Amino acid sequence: MKLGFIGTGEITSSIVTGLCSSFTMRHSIRLSPRNTAIAKELANRFNGVSISSCNQEVLDHCDTIVIAVRPQVARDVLSELHFRPDHQVVSLVSALSLRSVSEIVAPAVRVTRAVPLPSTAKRLSPTGIYPPEPAACDLFAALGTVFAVESENEFDAMCTVTASIAAYFAFIERIGSWLAQHGIPESKARDYIARMFWGLTASAVDAPERSLQSLTGNHATAGGINEQFLRYLIEHGLLTNVSEALDAVLSRISAPSQSSDVGTAY
């Protein structure tokens, strides 16, 4: 596969790192010069990665094009480019609907939306894909686990929950800070909390037959400290606030999909 990236930010860096760190990587990769520092670092680090002189040169030399620019500039950047009918286009722009992307990249007709995470660098990303075009699914299957969906509403919901990543780190940071306030050295507190949640996540991944609700109940022993902590958060509206925050993000993401306008950044 001749793979080209329009936009060279964190997610492009993660995808390229994941692909090039794999022993089975069989792609030649061209990067746009948009972020010179990241592009040069990747090209110097990995064989088979080169930097094109402009975005159009990426399209001219590649068959699969990954669009990874910020939503605010997506239309301006893409409208200047000339796509071919045989291009496979993968859009990572969360605020551009499939119809909008298809209109911009015409005459290319194989268009897919995807929402990979930075964990693609370690080939651990769960990647939502719509529609489930085989070539796009194969690409991201090499970078973790593909979650193909059959409707754009489902895809927008997957995009929405990625908004919880910063909140997750803020949550565990608050717990680590609390430990530090009680005498645990900060670095040790950070490592302890990170590994505690890492272990819990691994347990959930390794037991797909168990619902998250059942895992919650298993850990919230009646009269125990987990039950006490969970009950306090529920009584103070934390879980309700989580749902409301996700609803607000979904409204922000799906509104552009319905009106074909660019909205939020991923």
Mind spelling out the 3-state secondary structure of the chain? Answer: CEEEEECCCHHHHHHHHHHHCCCCCCCEEEECCCCHHHHHHHHHHCCCEEECCCHHHHHHHCCEEEECCCHHHHHHHHHCCCCCCCCEEEECCCCCCHHHHHHHHCCCCEEEEEECCHHHHHCCEEEEEECCCHHHHHHHHCCEEEEECCCHHHHHHHHHHHHHHHHHHHHHHHHHHHHHHCCCCHHHHHHHHHHHHHHHHHHHHCCCCCCHHHHHHHHCCCCCHHHHHHHHHHHCCHHHHHHHHHHHHHHHHHHHHHHCCCCCCC
pTM: 0.87
Summarize pLDDT for 206-235 with one digit per residue, the tens: 999 999 999 999 999 999 999 999 999 999
| pLDDT surpasses 70 at 264 | no
Which pLDDT value is given to residue 105?
96
Domains by residue range for the chain, with CATH: 2-150 (3.40.50.720), 164-247 (1.10.3730)
Instruction: Give tens-digit pLDDT for 89-121.
Output: 999 998 889 999 999 999 999 999 999 999 999
Among 57-61, 132-136, 180-184, the least confident range: 132-136
